[in-house]
Amino acid sequence: MRLVLFEPDIPQNAGTMMRLAAALGVAVDLIEPCGFLVDDRRLRRAAMDYADFLDLTRWTSWRRYAESPHPGRLVLLTTRASQPYTGFAFAPSDRIMVGRESAGAPDDVHDAADARIVIPLRPEARSINVATAAAMALGEAIRQIGASF
């Protein structure tokens, strides 16, 4: 299983998701450009020493990522989906993608996704923090596939 960060805007969120992935043993694909320097001190501070054992692959663009072969399905976590994440059947080879904090994922990323899932929210709530959403989806995926350390 992999967590895919599509052009993140906020280093603290990216660092939090990297720390989460490292602690859970989930690899990370970071699709650039980011809204910050990848070696930004805030990113390193949020990831803390977990960055030392993070399985991280950096991609210079969405095009490079999309043109490369990847195992498993690309599962996009988006507010534009109708399938609740808790009703989705995750597989060990899934790549769970989160979009930019400011704009989500563009249409071409939506079109490339094998599945799109959503965290149901109250009607008046627009969205939740991307790192929180990633944690919820990864937690459910790991629960379903029965991963253990």
Mean pLDDT of successive 10-residue segments in the chain (149 residues)? 96 91 95 83 69 89 98 97 97 97 96 98 93 97 84
Annotated binding site: 77, 99, 119, 127
Total-model pTM: 0.94
Annotated binding site for S-adenosyl-L-methionine: 77, 99, 119, 127
Domains and CATH numbers, the chain: 2-145 (3.40.1280.10)
Give the closest residue to 38 by CA, choosing from 60, 23, 62: 60
| pLDDT of res. 63 | 98
Residue 50 burial by CB count (10 A; 0-12/13-18/19+): exposed, middle or buried?
middle
